[in-house]
Structure 1
Amino acid sequence: MTTAEDLVNIDPNLLLVDDDAAFLGRLERAMARRGFAVRTAGSVAEGIAAVEADPPAYAVVDLRLEDGNGLDVVSRLHAKRPDARAVVLTGYGNIATAVTAVKLGATDYLSKPADADDVINALLASDEERPTPPENPMSADRVRWEHIQRVYELCDRNVSETARRLNMHRRTLQRILAKRAPR
């Protein structure tokens, strides 16, 4: 029986593609501690260049990047190395993009922020078995809070623009932003 460590030892090359430098650094350190030989890219162009230079066995790719769609990296990886396993991460999950990601060669689709153990379970799960659900999933309140924070950051911390995009009253948003994150 092949274990997760055996799979990583066969070909430990992992490509991480994300434009969130803090998240990318944390995930890079966590995956390196778990035995992967990690390369990182901060954009679609860098990700595609890394795939062209040396297609990795594993990839974790953010869906929305500043210069385009992370699915372009997944598609290129699948074309260069059909046996590669890719996981798509996103803060904007919906069924249509999940289906597209799987059609392009992704093995799983996870919501951000994803735990390193969840990412590894998704990367190393066999096609016959589904990865186990997370031990401590985020509460619905926490998921909502994380989404609001992400949109707030994408709007350059502009409360009015964030409220407009979330279809929320500005004062309600200000109250939410003033509170601590739920557990």
Structure 2
Amino acid sequence: KNHTAVPLYFGQAKRIATPGQRLALFSAPDGHHCAAAGCDRQAAYMEIHHAVTDYARGGRTDIIELAPLCPTHHRMVGDQPGQFSTGRIESGPDEGRTWWQHNAEPGAPPTERLVNRLPDVAHNYFANLEQVRAEIHGRTPLERAGFTLNRINVFDVITPGLFTADTPHAHAFRAAM
């Protein structure tokens, strides 16, 4: 969608993600943690996984087909029962994120596709806190007098530049603030 001078689409010409792709993945919705559901390993420890189609099966080393996985979860991906399959969510609120599904035994019903929600906890916390505060206390005296409160975005203070204006999380997070 937004293009840069750094190549992010290599098709089958390259197997290993480039430093530019790794940096771009870091700003993706699930890019700063392992994409496996429930994993809290941070991006500094990630391997880059062909999440849509395995490279050996024609998968492309394109930014929209890659996802970060910690080494432990990367070794768990495969086609066999007991292993995990991955893919990209194409629409809805989780568009662009990686789903993670446990491969069921033959004859068993398919398991649910999961998304790692741990990276969302801190972002959702502030929006939920504001909603609960408003439900309990109503508007503050200043708000009732017509003033708009400009709250500090604590994430910009703690991790400046992490949520840039171009990252999907930044738009959702700032809208919730």
Structure possessing the higher radius of gyration over alpha carbons: 2
Alignment TM-score, normalising by the size of structure 1: 0.24
Q: Select the structure that is richer in helix.
A: 1
> Which of the two has greater strand per residue?
1
Instruction: Normalising by structure 2, report the TM-score.
Output: 0.24
